[in-house]
Chains A and B, each alone.
Chain A
């Protein structure tokens, strides 16, 4: 029985791969759904009030997320987190916004939660206190309140495969190549460093949602040195094989993505988006607002109803039979549960 390649067995391969078209589709439909819900909430609060609101477009949402991707890099530099933490947090943030919109959840807090979660999932944990004490105007609940939501949005799929690891693997392969120049690691280290810089730039793009880590790594290497990239590719494929030409067109597409991400995010235009976001974000998620309180009251009412029903069921069961007998145990399996959540 042929074994599945390791990467193809990963949740990343199975659940987090998109085409450029499907990415745009996901973002457009999330955006449209959020706008519809928020518009309704505004109207319920005050009829006619939503017509003046200028909602964010999917591209504007993406712009804001990109800005916070770059903030992860800054924070990781400050905390001296390993590259694994940074890359993982970036993936989490991007994946989160394929299930949610910035109009519901502002990327600032999601970013803080994603990074904190990434320290744990990559086995580099720090205490929450040490984390929040070093980030201005941030307290424990800013990080923890969203932890479940972030974990759920990720489908509890915490393992991420990264291009910088793939690049390291390619680099080790090249040092082991039969006709490698002596001491290649030292002599050509500048090429590796340059390729790594391109991998890091690729994190600002959608590359990881479309291509495999090794494709991104090889594309990054090909920007730094097309000779070395070819040398490696040709060691893996027969010269003239169709796979090799497919690979070259894939690499070209990734290079375009990387190049288009190399300009820093224009902070001024993001500021404009962020200002508008203040006016169009979902009021149900703004603590203290009328809509927030209304939703909370509704949730509370439902919970109360459920508790009452449970109490009635228990009483009924007690009245009908021996409360310690089979009958009760059969009907109310969770009677000794502390929850919450049956």
Chain B
């Protein structure tokens, strides 16, 4: 046997697959462990044989970037090996994601909890950007949560290196609700600011407990954004009307963030506002966000181990489900989204009522 094949077999033997926990079109995910230590891992098996162009781009991207990135707030790729026509990625085991936590109505978030998740997200993102990598698919269910509470950015299937100025990139990236307006207008030249917009949306979602800018189509997405933040003027965002897919969407007034985020501190709203600036060059960078006053003001961020967790995770058996990202636990397995207290119900109706304010008033 060749040395290379032998090394691959050795790697393969290091890991044991225990249980299939999810299956998608291109990948099967197993819960597994390291044979020598019993350390829990996730093994993502990508079926390569079916691709007519060989190893597919999203697998290549994921492997390429995760091989280089080692950071507390980025998912760790422990090993890669192949088996026949499959590519196996051994990833650190993470039991839940931020989407599950946001949707778990039995959990109450303190402002310090939100601050902690935001700090970990920005730390991981700053590290990606420092390494010249755009993630291009940030959303709550790609922010995984380890058992010690650490948040890890995952799913690098759409990531890429920054292009040189003047080099085109695709605008068909980032899940719609988290996609910034420059991409919705078809900009082919963009930067780290696209990821920061997504983090802004996630920040808002943590406060609202419901997606902040949930458009129903790409066109509706722009309308939803403008309804919430006001239609940008040429002064707000010079040149945006010249973008390839620009269409006038209608005139919506600017409403202060304060009207919707009634409980947020001034610092929180300042950071949120700076993540959601229309002009991408003025939007805050991940690095500057980390030194924003929000993170230095009271209350200090919760320690990761003290953050709210999904109680459902304590029960062991996970049914199979369609796979999205690296998450190992099933939606079907999540706590029923019952309202745990009347307060919860009140705050939710309050939110939806407040959301109504952002709709255009007749005649405006």
Q: B53, A125: Cβ atoms under 8 Å?
A: yes
- Neighbouring B residues of A128 by C-beta, 8 Å: 52-54
Instruction: Say if the beta carbon of A333 comes within 8 Å of chain B.
Output: yes
Q: Does A123 touch B at the CB level, under 8 Å?
A: yes
**Within the complex, what minimum Cβ distance (angstroms) separates B284 from chain A?**
21
Taking CB atoms, residues of chain A closer than 8 Å to B82 are 148, 151-152
When the two chains form their complex, are residues A100 and B161 in contact, meaning their CB atoms are under 8 A apart? Answer: no
* Contact (Cβ within 8 A) B64 A158: yes
Contact B4 A99 (CB under 8 A): yes
Q: B287 an interface residue at 8 Å Cβ cutoff?
A: no
Whether A6 touches B64, Cβ cut-off 8 Å, given contacts A128-B54, A144-B54, A333-B17, is no
- Cα-based distance from A253 to B214 in the complex (angstroms): 59
Q: Smallest distance from the beta carbon of B25 to chain A beta carbons, Å?
A: 14
User: Are the CB atoms of B64 and A341 closer together than 8 Å?
Assistant: no
CA distance in complex: A116, B57 (Å): 12
Q: Could you tell me the distance between the alpha carbons of A104 and B74 in the complex, rounded to whole angstroms?
A: 39
B20 located at the interface, meaning its Cβ lies under 8 Å from any Cβ of chain A in the complex: yes
With an 8 A cutoff between CB atoms, is B83 at the interface? yes
Interface check B2, CB cutoff 8 A: yes
- B residues in contact with A339, CB < 8 Å: 45, 83-84, 86
Is A337 in the interface zone, CB < 8 Å from B? yes
Interface of chain B residues 68 through 88 with chain A (CB within 8 A): 68, 70, 80-87
A118-132 to B contact mask, C-beta < 8 Å, 1/0? 001101010110000
Residue A65 at the B interface, CB < 8 A?
Answer: no
In the bound complex, what is the Cα–Cα distance between A246 and B245 (angstroms)?
54
**B84–A159 CB distance below 8 A:** no
**A 247-264 binary contact with B (CB < 8 Å = 1; else 0):** 000000000000000000
Number of residues from B at the complex interface, CB < 8 A:
39
Q: Flag if A341 contacts B84 (CB, 8 Å).
A: yes
Of the four ranges (under 10, 10 to 19, 20 to 34, 35 or more), the interface on chain A belongs to 35 or more
Q: A156 in the interface, Cβ–Cβ < 8 Å?
A: yes
**In the complex, are the beta carbons of A158 and B130 less than 8 A apart?**
no
Q: How far is the CB of B75 from chain A (nearest CB, A)?
A: 16
* Residue B12 CB within 8 A of the other chain: yes
With a cutoff of 8 Å between Cβ atoms, the chain A residues found around residue B161 in the complex are 123
Bound-state Cα–Cα, A6 to B129, Å: 12
Measured between alpha carbons, how far is A336 from B19 in the docked complex, in Å? 9
Given A121-B60, A123-B160, are A159 and B67 neighbors across the interface (CB < 8 Å)? yes
- In the assembled complex, the Cα of A10 lies from the Cα of B131 at a distance in Å of 10
Residues on the B chain within 8 Å of A151, using CB: 55, 82, 87
Q: Which B residues fall within an 8 A CB radius of A? A: 2-5, 7-8, 12, 17-20, 28, 45, 48, 52-55, 57, 60-61, 63-65, 67-68, 70, 80-87, 130-131, 160-161
Beyond the given A9-B131, A121-B64, A123-B61, could you list 18 further A-B residue pairs with CB under 8 A, ordered by the A residue number?
A11-B67, A11-B68, A120-B53, A121-B60, A125-B53, A128-B52, A147-B54, A148-B85, A151-B55, A156-B63, A158-B60, A159-B64, A159-B67, A333-B17, A333-B18, A333-B19, A340-B83, A341-B12
Question: What are 25 A-B pairs with beta-carbon distances under 8 A?
Answer: A6-B130, A11-B67, A99-B4, A100-B3, A104-B2, A117-B55, A120-B55, A120-B60, A121-B60, A121-B64, A123-B161, A125-B53, A140-B52, A143-B54, A153-B4, A158-B63, A158-B67, A159-B67, A159-B68, A333-B18, A333-B19, A337-B28, A340-B86, A341-B12, A341-B84
5 closest cross-chain pairs (CB), A and B? A341-B83, A158-B64, A156-B80, A128-B53, A147-B54
